[in-house]
Structure 1
Amino acid sequence: MLIARWIFDIDTIDGRSAADVQGAAPAVVLDESVRVVPGRDGEALAFDGRAQAVIPAAPQLVLSQVFGFALAFFVNVTAPPDGEWRGLLYKPVGENDARGVGMWLYPDAMRVRGQVFTAKGPDYVDSRTSLRVGEWTHVAFVADADGMYLYIDGRLDVGVPLEHEVVPPYGPIYLGGQPDRPGFTGLLDDLRVYASALDAGTVQALARPPS
């Protein structure tokens, strides 16, 4: 079930905020460094490695392993690895709390790391596929009662089992830079949040180029 979608087109932008086109979730709050630029289909958000956008915490954005959940977006990373973990998306368990759900780029590679926080601590899943600098890539992170899975451009890249219960993340969603941590340099578009685990066919359909 799709619960929120931000497409970042200019008609959804009001000052320094970008509305959810589903209409129920909070708007994305853009810091002064985030720019709205031409994207893959309409507009996209541009991040400079320090810029951050925040989706305030809301009851409808609490993610539960019981029902499954998924996060999906298009990203175009325009800078090569620089020795730092670079944040793509991050949602803490609570305000200023442990990392609940997140995705980062490796310090020395264009691979993606996904993470959930379980009753026994963090669990990770690392992509085998590397993103290409300067090219649009669709990334989907899916979790359910059995495991967590990374899809790259609509194909299942890697999945790992989850032996312990995932702690539901209640905090805000950070895009790009996290509090006191760098983010990626590049563009982000069509961010979707689902309150259910997506199957392979649905992810594949999301990754198709616009017609």
Structure 2
Amino acid sequence: MLVARWSFAVEDIDGRRVADATGGGLTMTLDEGVRIVPGRDGDGEALAFGGTRGRAIVEAAPRLALSQLFGFTVAFHVRVTDGPTGEWRALLFKQVADADARALGVWLHPDADRLRVQLFTTKGPEYMDGHARLTRDEWAHLALVVHAQGMALYVDGRPDVAIPLEHPVVTPGGPLSLGAEPGKPGMSGLMANVRIYAEALDERTIRALATE
């Protein structure tokens, strides 16, 4: 079930606030470090991040309290415009609760345009490093799938890496942020068509999303 989508279409934008295109009532707020620019081939608009501390935030809501039991998927298009900086560059993170630990995170490595994903379990953080390297200045589609047995990362509709999870995932019920973590740099590039599902999508569905 699709619980939220931000296509950044003009009709969903009100100043620095962007409505959920599903009509679910969730609003994303952009801080001063984030701009809205033309997106992919006329498919809505995109968020532009400049590698600073700019981010876009969706406050905690019951619809976004994602459960490992039922599974969940976070999917989006991304276009990295600058190379490695020697620092971790955040793309997305979600907290356990307001002002709480990071429950879910996605970064680019300090020395390569390769992804790292983190989930917070009852035994602490679990990390998964992707194999694929994103091509600079080209759009890629990323999908993180979490289910009862583990988590998997897909790049451009294809499986990239998957690991089992021995301990339960702590429900990421807190705010969702795109771009930089508090006090840390984020990615330089664009992000578009952000979707969140309260289910673990299968490979066929993810492949279809990647080609939209």
TM-score scaled to structure 1, two decimals? 0.97
Equivalent residue number for residue 191 of structure 2: 188
* Correspondences of 1:193-204 after superposition (within 5 Å): 193-204=196-207
Distance in 2 between residues matched to 1:26 and 1:175, nearest whole Å: 14
Structure 1: gaps spanning 5 or more residues: none
The answer to whether 1:162 aligns with 2:165 is yes
Task: Please say if residues 54 and 173 of structure 1, whose CA atoms lie closer than 8 Å, have aligned partners that are also in contact.
Answer: yes
Alignment counterpart, residue 209 of structure 2, candidates 193, 206, 209: 206
Residue type of the alignment partner of 1:11: E
The answer to whether 1:49 aligns with 2:51 is yes
After superposition, the Cα gap between the structure-2 partners of 1:63 and 1:25, relative to the gap in structure 1 and judged at 3 Å, is: farther
Equivalent residue number for residue 62 of structure 2: 59
The answer to whether 1:130 aligns with 2:139 is no
Equivalent residue number for residue 9 of structure 1: 9
Residue type of the alignment partner of 2:45: E
* 1:102 shift after superposition: 1.1
Distance in 1 between residues matched to 2:100 and 2:116, nearest whole Å: 19
Alignment counterpart, residue 149 of structure 1, candidates 148, 152, 167: 152
Residue type of the alignment partner of 2:124: G
Residue type of the alignment partner of 1:49: G
Distance in 1 between residues matched to 2:10 and 2:87, nearest whole Å: 32
Identify which range, 145-154 or 94-103, moves more after superposition.
94-103
Distance in 1 between residues matched to 2:181 and 2:16, nearest whole Å: 18
* 1:99 shift after superposition: 1.2
User: Identical aligned pairs, as a percentage?
Assistant: 56
Residue type of the alignment partner of 1:77: V
* 1:42 shift after superposition: 2.9
Aligned residue pair count:
209
User: What CA deviation, in whole Å up to 9, does each residue of 1:164-204 have, x standing for no partner?
Assistant: 00000111001001111111011000000000001000000
Equivalent residue number for residue 30 of structure 1: 30
The answer to whether 1:100 aligns with 2:103 is yes
User: What CA deviation, in whole Å up to 9, does each residue of 1:11-32 have, x standing for no partner?
Assistant: 2110101110111142110011
CA RMSD across the alignment: 0.8
Distance in 2 between residues matched to 1:2 and 1:37, nearest whole Å: 25
Residue type of the alignment partner of 2:29: V
Residue type of the alignment partner of 2:185: P
Structure 2 counterpart SS, 1:114: strand
Task: Please say if residues 3 and 25 of structure 1, whose CA atoms lie closer than 8 Å, have aligned partners that are also in contact.
Answer: no
User: What CA deviation, in whole Å up to 9, does each residue of 1:35-72 have, x standing for no partner?
Assistant: 11111023111011121110111011001000000000
Distance in 2 between residues matched to 1:165 and 1:42, nearest whole Å: 36
List 4+ stretches of structure 1 deviating above 2 A.
Answer: none
Distance in 2 between residues matched to 1:158 and 1:170, nearest whole Å: 25
Residue type of the alignment partner of 2:46: A
Task: Please say if residues 7 and 189 of structure 1, whose CA atoms lie closer than 8 Å, have aligned partners that are also in contact.
Answer: yes
Distance in 2 between residues matched to 1:114 and 1:33, nearest whole Å: 24
Equivalent residue number for residue 75 of structure 1: 78
Residue type of the alignment partner of 2:147: D
